[in-house]
Amino acid sequence: MQNNFLTSIRSLKLIDGCKGAQVYTVNPLSTAGEKLASLRPTFSLRSKSIGPQLQPHHHHSPSFDSLLSTFGLPSIDLIDPPIDPFIRPIEPIDALASSFRAISSTASSSSSSSLCDIYLEHHSLLRSVGDPKQLRRALRSARLHSSDVHHKIVLSAWLRFERREDELEPLVSPISCFPTSPAIECPRAALSPGYSPDAPSDHCPCRCSPDHSASPLAPSVRPPDLEDDEIDLWFRIGDEEIPCLRSRIAALSKPLCALLYGDFAESRREHINFTHNGISARGMRIVDAFSRGGSLNEFPPDTVLEVLVFANHFCCEGLKAACDFKLASIIRNVDDALLFIDYALEEAAYLLAAACLQVFLRELPRSLQNPEITIIFCTPEGRERLASAGHASFVLYYFLSQVAMEEDMKSNTTVMLLERMVECANTGWQKLLGMHQLGCVMLERGEYKDAQKSFEVAVQEGHVYSLAGVARAKYKKGHKYSAYKLLNSIISEHCPSGWMYQERSLYCHGKERTNDLIMATELNPALPYPYKYRSVTLAEEDKLGAAVAEINKILGFKVSTDSLELRAWFYLALGNFDAALQDIRAILTLDPCYMMFHGKMHGDQLIDALQQYVHQWDMADCWMQLYDRWSAVDDIGSLAVVHQMLEKEPGNSSLRFRQSLLLLRLNCQKAAMHCLRMARNHSAQEHEKLIYEGWILYDTGHRKEALAKAEESIAIQRSFEAFFLKAYALADTSMDQTSSSHVIQLLEQANSCASDNLRKGQAHNNMGSVYVDCDMLDEAAECYLKALGIKHTRAHQGLARVYYLKNQKKTAYDEMTKLIEKAKSSASAYEKRSEYCDREMARSDLNMATKLDPLRTYPYRYRAAVLMDDRKEEEAIIELSRALSFKPDLQLLHLRAAFYDSIGNQAAAARDCEAALCLEPDHADTLELYDKIRGRAIEQQK
């Protein structure tokens, strides 16, 4: 069987109401056969290890028996939620609105540096929202409004770091960029001073023609004055004399002018001894050449460095700038940067230091493993040296700290970088962020006294959430009641949030703790800890089935490695080794370096220990299992099967690509891009490599380039994947009648090529979507039925849409019911089915959708709209506010703003518009509503 793939995530047209994360079915609890049932251990989860007693007539593997008795099962004491290391405002919507107003008011001023700082603050605020696209947009805006080289190199490197999985291959040089790299990340452009937010987005020096590639940093070259060629001054250095023009040398700086034309004896001499002024004869010739022509192009770097020292000594600003530029232009790699950084800092060579720093930043996180570099970044002396050269800033240490925390939260490097970050803080938000993050790191390191002090400083700067850190530090020091009282005061003084009740639950017991966690889930159902706590508690009561059901609730809409590990533990306790192995494989797909059992054992070792208790599949078995799980919309199960297949065929690029699609469904974008790039790198055939390059380009916004890659691939070899990519890219760029026909032809050509049924099912499904858009319903129905005939389950949704458009509402409802029965925990299916029934049944379906996936926003909007239709305005606003309290969402904010406007609460309506525009500045409907609200406010003031 050809190892092709199913790209159901890449549907050509998605119904707005059904966009969002999928819900994943879980294998039901079942015995793993008589042999596995007899291997089930007997133990109590109240102890921290599994008892060794097993059925006496079976032999337990020593390795597995030792494994269980050594590491045991999860304990409530070991699953405490971390303190989030970012700014978490008490009133998120108010904070977003305030950020929008700050950006708007500052944008009209001429202070670009202020706007850059405001966008950085905006970025720090958006971290609590957690949308990577919004975070990148904020960083991009900060970079666009950077006026100095330092901020440009830092923010360009930061943007590149966040996108590091997107490139086709590692860059040959840290100062190079690919043709498809965003121009705003160009390292050469970052070294150009000046403020140009309106510059063309494709303006990249690396892509300019040779005639226009000169950097604007280059000093203006003054041509030599051919008439003024009379030598009237010689500098003696050792045994050599260098002829010069007195007037030109004097023009280099005021000190040299005073020396040659002032009251000094040298002003009356034609021969001046310069032997002891720290410059060689060759260096002095460079000074003379520069004084005549203003150029350093033909001189070697070591001599230019010598001239730089001379220029600094005699305050020759023009000469220093030329040397600075010349040396900065030759920095190509880490070795170059390490060679020159000390000179740059010692001589305060701003541009040379920037070029060296840029290389270090673009080599992160590897740079932080180099002791020579960490001394510069981490030590107080290093920060002072950077400051003397104009390169110590909050944004530099903000970036470095994020990288360090991502690599190792507890390392000394992380602590030192955060300390430097606090030292560079100039405003309140900068200091509170630095101190809060330092507190989080100290808490993780077990240094509770220092953690408490850091959190308390952050609280003094206005960050209420840092009180949770203060309470946690007190609790760890044994002051549990004091921590409880502190959380009580937070809840009583502020509008309650889910995190407040979650935090307070740590400091109480029994029913009170249970009630707090119930309230935490009610206020914020996306918090993982309450589900984890309840599942572990059930497991300790030997209710393992209920424990699995509880953790499944969070895994249904928010997949994470720690929740999967918890479920794997429960399956181990049940003796369901197949299910446990599935979850462990899924974990290693999300994080190949994941350590199980509280960081004590690598997941691969656990897989090896479990292998002997499960049926071993060959590749044919794996394909059949993958087919079943993919058809059942079981993405976690599919991930596990693909992981096992890659163990057998690690170079299979098709499987890597299929893995990337599954990860996209699970909202793991970075991991998905990594798999996509590995698929490209493992491709043995050029036409396959071009296809994967095309998908990488498509996913990073380069639609035309993706289309070109598909056409290149087809020119080499006609294949399903190439035609499918071309159809998809074409459909996304234009969908008029002509292009729709072309897309259908491309999909038909794809299906004429060899592929597996999963892939053909996707093509039929996408073809049906195009036919629906062209109002060719009979042809669409035929395509969907073909897809269903080869078990492409999602085609039920498209077929239901066809029935609905034919006014067969009951049939559409029944079709969606079939999808729900096959993908039993599908929140999107319930949500879509609600469109095909009466109001009461729709509300029931949408309530189920919310129960299965509380992060889906359509159900809240629907219920709120129904309440507004019933003239229950306050209840409608409460419904929207319920979701907005844990998920700031553009559509929810826009709708609530409209509701507030309809009841005359213009202040609240304006605030919600501002918060929505903070998330999406170009949202046309919100801009229109906001203008109307402001217009009415102005009229009332008049």
- Summarised one tens digit per residue, pLDDT across range 868-904 is 999 999 999 999 999 999 999 999 999 999 999 999 9
| Residue recorded with tokens 């050469």 | 188
303, amino acid identity: T
Do the domain assignments include residue 321?
Answer: yes
* Token digits of residue 336: 């170059």
- Give how many domains the chain has, as a whole number: 1
Question: What is residue 221's DSSP assignment?
Answer: P
Residue 65's pLDDT is what? Answer: 57
The CA distance from 834 to 849, in Å, is 10
| 618-631 per-residue burial string, b: 16 or more CB within 10 A, e: under 16 | eeeebbebbbebbb
User: Averaged over 633-662, what is the pLDDT?
Assistant: 93
Do the domain assignments include residue 264?
Answer: yes
- Give the SS3 label for residue 858: helix
The CA distance from 278 to 218, in Å, is 26
| 276-290 per-residue burial string, b: 16 or more CB within 10 A, e: under 16 | eeebbbbbbbbbbbb
CB-based contact 728:707 (threshold 8 Å): no
Give the count of alpha carbons within 13 A of 389, CB side only: 27
Do the domain assignments include residue 301?
Answer: yes
Do the domain assignments include residue 364?
Answer: no
- Inform me whether the pLDDT recorded for 565 exceeds 60: yes
**Relative orientation angle of helices 528-540 and 544-555, to the nearest 10 degrees:** 170
Interval 64-113: pLDDT, tens: 556 556 666 788 888 999 999 999 999 999 999 999 999 998 877 655 66
Do the domain assignments include residue 250?
Answer: yes
Do the domain assignments include residue 290?
Answer: yes
Beta strand 233-237 pairing with 271-273: parallel
Residue 704 CB: number of other CB atoms within 10 A?
A: 11
The CA distance from 504 to 522, in Å, is 15
Do the domain assignments include residue 124?
Answer: no
User: Averaged over 168-184, what is the pLDDT?
Assistant: 69
In CATH, what number is assigned to the domain containing residue 250? 3.30.710.10
- Inform me whether the pLDDT recorded for 6 exceeds 50: no
Please report the beta strands in 479-623, taking only residues with DSSP state E, as ranges in sequence order.
Answer: 595, 601-602
Interval 391-440: pLDDT, tens: 999 999 999 999 999 999 999 999 999 999 999 999 999 999 999 999 99
CB-based contact 531:538 (threshold 8 Å): no
Residue 189's pLDDT is what? Answer: 87
| Residue recorded with tokens 């978490």 | 88
Tell me the sheet residues that pair with 601: 596
Q: Show the domain range for 292.
A: 230-330
Q: In the chain, pLDDT over 90 holds for what percent of residues?
A: 64
Residue 172's pLDDT is what? Answer: 59
Do the domain assignments include residue 573?
Answer: no
User: Averaged over 595-599, what is the pLDDT?
Assistant: 83
Q: What is the mean pLDDT of the chain?
A: 86
Tell me whether residue 325 is exposed, middle or buried, using C-beta atoms within 10 angstroms of its C-beta: 0 to 12, 13 to 18, 19 or more: buried
pLDDT band at 216 (very low <50, low <70, confident <90, very high): very low
User: Averaged over 226-249, what is the pLDDT?
Assistant: 81
- Please give the radius of gyration of the chain, using alpha carbons only, rounded to the nearest integer: 32
- Inform me whether the pLDDT recorded for 511 exceeds 90: yes
Residue 66's pLDDT is what? Answer: 61
